[in-house]
Amino acid sequence: MDDRVKYVLDESEIPTRWYNIIADLPERPPRPRHPKNHKPLDASEMTSLSAHELLRQDGATDRWIEIPDDVRRVYRLWRPSPLYRARNLERELGTPARIYYKYEGVSPTGSHKPNTAVPQVYYNKQQGITRLTTETGAGQWGTALAFACAQFGVECEIWWTGISYDQKPYRKMIMEAFGGTVHRSPSPLTEVGRRAREQEGESSPGSIGLAVSEAVEVALADDNTGYALGSTAGHVLLHQTVIGEEALAQFQLAEDYPDVVISCVGGGSSLGGVGFPFLRDKIAGRRDTRVIAVEPTACPALTRGRYAWDYGDMEGLTPLMKMYTVGHAFVPKSIHAGGLRYHGMSPLLSHIYELGLLDAVAIPQNECFAAGVRFARSEGILPAPEPTHALAECVREALRCKESGEEKVILTALCGHAHLDLPAYASYLAGEMVDRQLSEAEVEQALKGLPVLA
């Protein structure tokens, strides 16, 4: 074991293939269903929203999907991303655990989101799509899609949840600098947006589900416009596996291997990216790595939701998907981790959780920001609000090792920095941050709106 802090791969070692975990699962996840007649859908019935190749990837059973050269060319701007050993944090915690983090904040937009934005724009451009619409929660995905669209000369239109739009004006400026058009959601530009504004007022905080409905409504109205999804979809999690594939090679450099892999979850892209390649070894019986999904107590789809058929958006325009959900009509309370304010979980990740291959915990935001500040003061990187959830569980795990004396190896996904999330830290440091916990009555009320299948 050496005393290095950083494990860096050469540019020539950027993965050439994405890993498709479906090939190794004992059961395939359920197919999406039609939003109206509830019958199972095949890829040919969903081409009005997604590029054909993305739909093919969603249904693929191949273990490996080749990454196009033009996508790898753009990946070279920041990939491979570094794997760090958090030695200062280990000392500060006094733990025998070895803590590593895979840092995605080195990307042009400061998060892991370009890993899927780039191939999604590439495949849509190949199909002749000239404009893409999307939603964004924290703003990281909208920024990533605007960046990717600029790389391939595609127009980009973004509906941004109102609460995060209000909190992060500089994030909007970056999206616009990349060429994106940004709307506060709910907006007066769509039927679903106008209805929400009438019911909740123009200052409604919105939700990711509502922003999805607006983006989908616009995409369905124009044959030259496609819709791009920043999380939950199978192809999104597939593209993100470049993170874990690189991490496997970097752990070989470190002569180490994680006992625990921890990631925040909103829709599941970060966890799929860092966790799925390690689950491959677990499924094959080569390792027994524990993978932990960490969500906010304000939007606890995995820990308190129901595994059921539900829509991916508030209006019911998307196909029905079997997933862990707190109900598509649920509007999460305002928290600073805007990227985790989504009612449902990736159907693929939900299926894997249902198979018992994942664990999940929910942590309140004050504990998460405490971990973020602790990390910043020891490691020198201010983490985005979303990955502070993973860091909070990482601290918990490291302190358990301190009590037990176990020398566990912990890997966490630091999926972005907080350079544009400083008001959130200001709220925490001023003692003004409020933890949000759903009551049982609120959970049950939210679940009442689940669709009933014939």
Question: What is the domain-level CATH number for residue 175?
Answer: 3.40.50.1100
Cα–Cα distance for residue pair 61/53, rounded to 1 Å:
14
Same domain, 212 and 250: no
Same domain, 279 and 419: yes
- Phi-psi map region of 201: left, alpha, beta (phi>0 left; psi -120 to 50 alpha): left
Residue pair 109/414 in contact (Cβ under 8 Å)? The answer is no
Write down the residue that tokens 């919105």 correspond to: 206
Same domain, 44 and 146: yes
Same domain, 177 and 303: no
Residues found in the chain? 454
* pLDDT one-digit tens code per residue, 37-54: 888 887 666 666 789 999
Residue pair 43/56 in contact (Cβ under 8 Å)? The answer is yes
Element (H, E) at 100: strand 98-103
Is the per-residue pLDDT at 128 higher than 70?
yes
Cβ count within 10 A of residue 224: 10
* pLDDT one-digit tens code per residue, 93-118: 999 999 999 999 999 999 999 999 99
Give the type of residue at 55: L
Report pTM.
0.94
What range does the domain containing 352 cover?
A: 6-13+71-110+235-447
Cα–Cα distance for residue pair 121/117, rounded to 1 Å:
6
Same domain, 357 and 281: yes
Boundary of a domain, candidates 233, 259, 290: 233
Same domain, 33 and 139: yes
> Which residue has better confidence, 30 or 313?
30
Looking at the domain assignment, is residue 303 inside a domain? yes
Cα–Cα distance for residue pair 208/178, rounded to 1 Å:
22
* pLDDT one-digit tens code per residue, 207-246: 888 998 999 999 999 999 999 999 899 999 999 999 999 9
Same domain, 380 and 440: yes
pLDDT of the residue at 198:
93
pLDDT of the residue at 164:
87
Convert 244-282 into a string of H (helix), E (strand) and C (coil).
Answer: HHHHHHHHHHHCCCCCEEEEECCCCHHHHHHHHHHHHHH
Boundary of a domain, candidates 233, 253, 268: 233
Looking at the domain assignment, is residue 159 inside a domain? yes
pLDDT of the residue at 138:
83
pLDDT of the residue at 272:
97
Same domain, 325 and 437: yes
Same domain, 210 and 223: yes
Same domain, 184 and 313: no
- Indicate the range of 55-64, 130-139, 288-297, 444-453 predicted with least confidence: 444-453
Same domain, 359 and 372: yes
Looking at the domain assignment, is residue 184 inside a domain? yes
- Segment 144-168 shows an average pLDDT of 95
pLDDT of the residue at 328:
87
